[in-house]
Amino acid sequence: MQTIKPDMGDLPYVIGPYKEPIASVRPGETFRVETLDAFADKVDSPDADLAKIVRVPYVNPCTGPIYVEGAEPGDTLTVRVDDIVLPRDYAVSAIIPDFGGVCGTVLTRVLNAPLEQRLLLHPITAEGIVHDPSLNIPPIPIEAFYGTIGTAPAVEAVSTLSAGFHGGNLDAADVCPGNVVMLPVQVPGALLFIGDGHAAQGDAEICGVAAETPTVGTLTVGLVKGRAIPTPRIENNEFIMSVGSARPLEDAARVAFYDLVTWVEADYGLDRFAAYQLASQVAKVRLANVVDVLYSIVAKFPKRYLPGA
Amino acid sequence: MQTIKPDMGDLPYVIGPYKEPIASVRPGETFRVETLDAFADKVDSPDADLAKIVRVPYVNPCTGPIYVEGAEPGDTLTVRVDDIVLPRDYAVSAIIPDFGGVCGTVLTRVLNAPLEQRLLLHPITAEGIVHDPSLNIPPIPIEAFYGTIGTAPAVEAVSTLSAGFHGGNLDAADVCPGNVVMLPVQVPGALLFIGDGHAAQGDAEICGVAAETPTVGTLTVGLVKGRAIPTPRIENNEFIMSVGSARPLEDAARVAFYDLVTWVEADYGLDRFAAYQLASQVAKVRLANVVDVLYSIVAKFPKRYLPGA
Amino acid sequence: MQTIKPDMGDLPYVIGPYKEPIASVRPGETFRVETLDAFADKVDSPDADLAKIVRVPYVNPCTGPIYVEGAEPGDTLTVRVDDIVLPRDYAVSAIIPDFGGVCGTVLTRVLNAPLEQRLLLHPITAEGIVHDPSLNIPPIPIEAFYGTIGTAPAVEAVSTLSAGFHGGNLDAADVCPGNVVMLPVQVPGALLFIGDGHAAQGDAEICGVAAETPTVGTLTVGLVKGRAIPTPRIENNEFIMSVGSARPLEDAARVAFYDLVTWVEADYGLDRFAAYQLASQVAKVRLANVVDVLYSIVAKFPKRYLPGA
Amino acid sequence: MQTIKPDMGDLPYVIGPYKEPIASVRPGETFRVETLDAFADKVDSPDADLAKIVRVPYVNPCTGPIYVEGAEPGDTLTVRVDDIVLPRDYAVSAIIPDFGGVCGTVLTRVLNAPLEQRLLLHPITAEGIVHDPSLNIPPIPIEAFYGTIGTAPAVEAVSTLSAGFHGGNLDAADVCPGNVVMLPVQVPGALLFIGDGHAAQGDAEICGVAAETPTVGTLTVGLVKGRAIPTPRIENNEFIMSVGSARPLEDAARVAFYDLVTWVEADYGLDRFAAYQLASQVAKVRLANVVDVLYSIVAKFPKRYLPGA
């Protein structure tokens, strides 16, 4: 099994078509991939000066691009997440000035004084994640996933902090072992980027940072030839899921549900308005994040309510 | 046990201080309350002409106001939902032109042609809700709750279709048996309004309508004297929850999480930034609706991670 | 000419159908109306404690309701602003914590520390408004208008700080002498409320407060029988204008332009898509405010480009 | 005077650092630049099939990148627009399905049927722009400007349909002869891109398309060494202006006014809260567009009210 490591000499901070592939995989191939954490593994103390370590846009480096043999524009790339191992014994989280969900940011600009930086190193133990050893609370179970996964747009190179129809920084805990992520292929070879491992994350990722961690993952890629999807999708035994990334947050919900409803129409034989009305009663939603450049929502349709399921 | 029925001669379509109480309850009292569905129980056929039945603002009639003895401005009213019984053997849902989450509306105005009305009557059986007998899908389990619950603002009379710091049309499935809803008291007697029973609803209530049903519920009210809350809260064994209602949807998230974080600070001894950072890893979110006059989000903090829990 | 004064014993802080009229006017009648400033004329020193004077929701008192004889639901009320006189020799402005356009607010909730209150009394002289005598800048020309004008909704009583299809706190400088404001009639007598005089205001009213002033105005009302409008409109020699009030701000723009385009279609014989495309080239927009409970935008179609003009 | 023409063999559809410069200019140099219209000059009939001509992301080609000698990250590039000549005798506008301000779009996704395409060719005459010869309305005066102007971000390549801190598709009529546009320098040589000429445009560009036209412009560039700006700025004799591009639209207003207020603070000696309060009374706003990937607002401070002006 090949192992793909981050390109330490030229870490990508955008998802786009302009960087040469660092590895190549075949459809059906299972491979290992290593990722750095969102701070490039540079935080090793709660006293670190984050402002020096994190200089936008040099944040959230990905591993990639990974070339998928045979992938052509108009195909869909499937990425099954088989496993995520956390090789480091701590995760990092932070409050970062002008970033987060309940504070002024560079876009929701305010004249109020910015929040102060806070760094926390969370020990990772066999029992889970110790948020803060000084607090008497139980460890948080590890639920590892990739915050960032995407394929190159045709001409844009999008910050790894942002998201869109190409995937990107979704911060959706559904990008986890057992699930298959579907991404559009817009350039030859698809050019997959992946990173931003999270040991755990609450819905909304409200302060802007999860339990950030490097990862060693195992992935299996596949191709659906000649079939395009308009926005990222995820599937597991229980749900089909559509991801919407936009601002304002209701537009993310619109993108996600529009795709979910028309997906049910196209693949499961319900007309779109019947699907819309049924979704109104059975859908589940994950508010993935309300902090990134674009916010992300995952709309989920339980498979048990799909006709013929 | 007293039973409070809707005032059929003067159904309230606003939550406000201007209507005389229809009943009075004491703190600690358990009572029964009957509610009409959002269409005033007038839909009895899928061929009904909804445009005649539903003439905004005469939609979503509540039962109330209910006067709570001893409630004074600055107190908090607690409403424990003990039970909800569904007295009718069907629920109603609909696609309503210019209303819903993935279509043009009276606020998200578009020049595209409106969607067409669709009415569905869902049989309610012992096995659950039959969404559409013509579809071969399993019944949807009944998870009854109140879509609308609120107390009178001091001077405003707010449409029962809208929401706010006073509660209102939250469409949050957490207003269900086993949970305690906390609402601000802004006028003497609190003036509680309740209605909009849902037999079940998906997250986001995406087409704008759940499985609408009349209810016979059992409630127990209480008062927290001299302590005000800034936005509705909900509590059960597992979570403390804050509800934010606003547009755009990210503002609803901000209101909900701001309250959740400062609630943890005030009652559980964590400073607000520590609570913010911890919430970023353990919070759960329900996207209650993205269809009403104001959208609602429920931010939830698991009690097991509260210091001292 | 009758003079209508504010009801000092029961100042209205909502626009709704629940308060008895304080005066009655006939269609075609020209009358005088006096209004208090948004702080009820209570600020007479820059050292005033605004937190004591301004206790939400008791802010922005209006004069009204004024009963318009013969007005029935489905009619349109026209209010021509003939004149606005400023009877006080200073205006008041303020930075108010948790209120404004570039800061955290009660809806755009942030954990950042709130801004500090600042009060300014602006002398009004023959040359204009002296923003701050300590600054060496020219006086600001007086362009007086009403920040708040509206008619009672059918069942809601809406805070005078908010806005909507009934009008309300638009903070649109087009509600000024020479212009005719059109408002929907939703209850018998229309029930007109007016107030919130501004000696001048910048577009967006960015800090949340204009040059606030009491007024003595002269108005002439009229009725368009049997013709309803969906949102407030304004007209003068140069423009027909539609007002949209909503959040997010793009929804305010959608409401305003939808009405403007369909108005041109209905009254000037251009199909709606032709009007849409023409508006794309000739429309003017005033960003009235981005600070109130709902934001307001005025979309303007120059009359010279109306077919047949 | 050198003339810079679009690179017809490799038209840029992104503003980024990945394309080689097509020309080089010196600070102080005045040069001529030719641009294609947003449809690459391919529309020559109202019956053209726009869906074939406009295939996202291959829309709105720019001329560039233009290398500015001596420009280094941290500098500010100034671009004075000296003149814009329209070499073609017609402009093009269109209603494009899933694009525009009062309709469903790819982000504000709706299940309503999309609008139908409409193309219009507007003759340009000595009297102005003839919107539609079949309408009896006066010609629209030519007020030519560039819809798109920007400099390369450090690592991102942003669609020429989008905007941001680097400039881009602002669709702000203030990018016109007589005005100086300031843009951040983030890569050596700044890498200026320019295009999207508009013969005229209404505020908001409401249907999504202005009077699109090729241009021959004359520009003069300059550098402010060692001084960075956080968002595009524009200046003329009357105003200093800050441009905010974001969604929702209120965030665009926040970005614009935050910069305007802190600019007044930094350069004109007013503290930021005094500037905020003064802006609340004297600022002007242009709603540049509410249709593009990000919406843009121009906040303007009249120079006459700047201390010392």
Write out residues 163-182 of C within 8 Å (CB-CB) of B.
none
Residue in D112, D249, D290 to test binding to B, most B beta-carbons within 10 Å? D112
CB atoms under 10 Å from CB of C307, counted, come to 16
Q: Residue A207: what residue type?
A: C
Stretch C65-94: mean pLDDT: 98
Q: What percent of chain A has pLDDT over 90?
A: 97
Beta carbons of D249 and C254 less than 8 Å apart:
no
Q: From the CA of D4, how many Å to the nearest CA of chain C?
A: 29
Name the E strands within chain B: 3-4, 14-15, 23-25, 30-35, 62-68, 76-85, 90-95, 118-125, 128-129, 145-151, 158-159, 163-164, 167-169, 180-184, 192-198, 215-224, 233-235, 239-246, 284-289, 295-302
Q: Give which of B207, D247, B285, B286 is closest to A260, Cα–Cα.
A: B207
By C-alpha distance, the chain A residue nearest D257 is A109
Chain A neighbours (≥3 Cβ pairs under 8 A) are B, C, D
Query: What pLDDT is attached to residue B53?
Result: 87
Residue A309's pLDDT band (cuts 50, 70, 90): low
By C-alpha distance, the chain B residue nearest C272 is B111
Establish if C283 touches chain D: CB-CB under 8 angstroms. yes
Q: Residue A136: what residue type?
A: N
The DSSP call for residue D274 is H
Query: What pLDDT is attached to residue B309?
Result: 67
Chain D neighbours (≥3 Cβ pairs under 8 A) are A, B, C
Q: What percent of chain C has pLDDT over 90?
A: 97
Beta carbons of C111 and B273 less than 8 Å apart:
yes
Establish if C113 touches chain A: CB-CB under 8 angstroms. yes
Query: What pLDDT is attached to residue B172?
Result: 98
Residue A168's pLDDT band (cuts 50, 70, 90): very high
Q: Which two structure tokens, joined as six digits, stand for A124? A: 């990772």
Alpha-carbon distance of A207 to A290, in angstroms, equals 9
- Contacts of residue B102 in chain D, CB cutoff 8 Å? 109-111
- Contacts of residue B112 in chain D, CB cutoff 8 Å? 103-104, 110, 112-115
Q: From the CA of C93, how many Å to the nearest CA of chain B?
A: 25
Which residue from D109, D113, D248 is facing B113, i.e. has the nearest CB? Answer: D113
The upper half-sphere exposure of residue C44, i.e. CA atoms within 13 Å in the direction of its Cβ, equals 3
A134 CB-near residues (< 8 Å, 6+ apart)? none
- The dihedral through the CA atoms of D8, D161, D153, A14 has a sign that is negative
Establish if C115 touches chain A: CB-CB under 8 angstroms. yes
The helix or strand, by DSSP H or E, that contains position A58, with its residue range, turns out to be none
Beta carbons of B109 and C13 less than 8 Å apart:
no
Name the E strands within chain A: 3-4, 14-15, 23-25, 30-35, 62-68, 76-85, 90-95, 118-125, 128-129, 145-151, 158-159, 163-164, 167-169, 180-184, 192-198, 215-224, 233-235, 239-246, 284-289, 295-302
Which residue from B108, B109, B112 is facing D113, i.e. has the nearest CB? Answer: B112
Query: What pLDDT is attached to residue C219?
Result: 98
The DSSP call for residue B298 is E
Which residue from D94, D136, D202 is facing C282, i.e. has the nearest CB? Answer: D202
The helix or strand, by DSSP H or E, that contains position A166, with its residue range, turns out to be none
Block residue for tokens 């109140």: B146
Query: What pLDDT is attached to residue D144?
Result: 98
Q: Is B226 helix (H, G, I), strand (E, B) or coil?
A: coil
Alpha-carbon distance of C183 to A279, in angstroms, equals 39
Beta carbons of B109 and D115 less than 8 Å apart:
no
- Contacts of residue C281 in chain D, CB cutoff 8 Å? 93, 129, 131, 140, 200-202, 210-211
Alpha-carbon distance of A285 to C31, in angstroms, equals 56
Residue A53's pLDDT band (cuts 50, 70, 90): confident
Establish if C112 touches chain A: CB-CB under 8 angstroms. yes
Which residue from C16, C154, C258 is facing B109, i.e. has the nearest CB? Answer: C258
Write out residues 183-212 of A within 8 Å (CB-CB) of D.
none
Beta carbons of C57 and B276 less than 8 Å apart:
no
Q: Please report the number of interchain residue pairs, chain A to chain D, with beta-carbon separation below 8 angstroms.
A: 86
Q: Which two structure tokens, joined as six digits, stand for B117? A: 């009305």
Write out residues 80-109 of A within 8 Å (CB-CB) of B.
93-95, 100-102
Query: What pLDDT is attached to residue C309?
Result: 67
Query: What pLDDT is attached to residue A98?
Result: 97
Alpha-carbon distance of D57 to D38, in angstroms, equals 12
Residue C54 has pLDDT above 90, yes or no: no
Q: What residues of chain D score a pLDDT lower than 70? A: 309
Residue in B56, B60, B109, B193 to test binding to C, most C beta-carbons within 10 Å? B109
Stretch A232-239: mean pLDDT: 98
Which residue from B109, B112, B248 is facing D115, i.e. has the nearest CB? Answer: B112
Stretch B277-297: mean pLDDT: 98
- Contacts of residue D109 in chain B, CB cutoff 8 Å? 102
Contact A301, A286 (CB under 8 A): no
Q: Which two structure tokens, joined as six digits, stand for C204? A: 């967006």
Stretch A157-171: mean pLDDT: 98
Stretch B202-207: mean pLDDT: 98
Beta carbons of D111 and A258 less than 8 Å apart:
yes
Query: What pLDDT is attached to residue C91?
Result: 98
Which residue from A102, A109, A248 is facing C109, i.e. has the nearest CB? Answer: A102
Q: Give which of A16, A27, A97 is closest to A56, Cα–Cα.
A: A97
Q: Please report the number of interchain residue pairs, chain C to chain D, with beta-carbon separation below 8 angstroms.
A: 193
Query: What pLDDT is attached to residue B302?
Result: 98
The upper half-sphere exposure of residue A59, i.e. CA atoms within 13 Å in the direction of its Cβ, equals 19
Q: From the CA of B67, how many Å to the nearest CA of chain A?
A: 33
Stretch B205-225: mean pLDDT: 98
Establish if A273 touches chain D: CB-CB under 8 angstroms. yes
Alpha-carbon distance of C35 to C33, in angstroms, equals 7
- Contacts of residue A279 in chain B, CB cutoff 8 Å? 202, 206-207
Q: Give which of D300, D147, D135 is closest to D212, Cα–Cα.
A: D147
Which residue from C247, C257, C276 is facing D95, i.e. has the nearest CB? Answer: C276
Q: From the CA of C8, how many Å to the nearest CA of chain B?
A: 17
Establish if B249 touches chain A: CB-CB under 8 angstroms. yes
How does the average pLDDT of chain A come out, rounded? 97
Beta carbons of C109 and A115 less than 8 Å apart:
no
Beta carbons of A277 and B306 less than 8 Å apart:
no
Beta carbons of A251 and D276 less than 8 Å apart:
no
Beta carbons of C110 and A109 less than 8 Å apart:
no
Beta carbons of C108 and A108 less than 8 Å apart:
yes
Q: Which residues of C37-64 are buried (b: 16+ CB within 10 A; e: fewer)?
A: bbbbbebeeeebebeeebeebebbbbbb
List B229's β-bridge partners, or say none.
Answer: none
Q: Which residues of B25-58 are buried (b: 16+ CB within 10 A; e: fewer)?
A: bebeeebbbbbbbbbbbebeeeebebeeebeebe
Q: Give which of B256, B234, B54 is closest to B161, Cα–Cα.
A: B54
Q: Can you tell me the ipTM of this complex?
A: 0.98
Q: From the CA of C206, how many Å to the nearest CA of chain A?
A: 12
By C-alpha distance, the chain B residue nearest D103 is B110
- Contacts of residue C261 in chain B, CB cutoff 8 Å? 111
The string of pLDDT tens digits covering residues B149-179 is 999 999 999 999 999 999 999 999 999 999 9
Establish if D113 touches chain A: CB-CB under 8 angstroms. no
- Contacts of residue D276 in chain A, CB cutoff 8 Å? 111
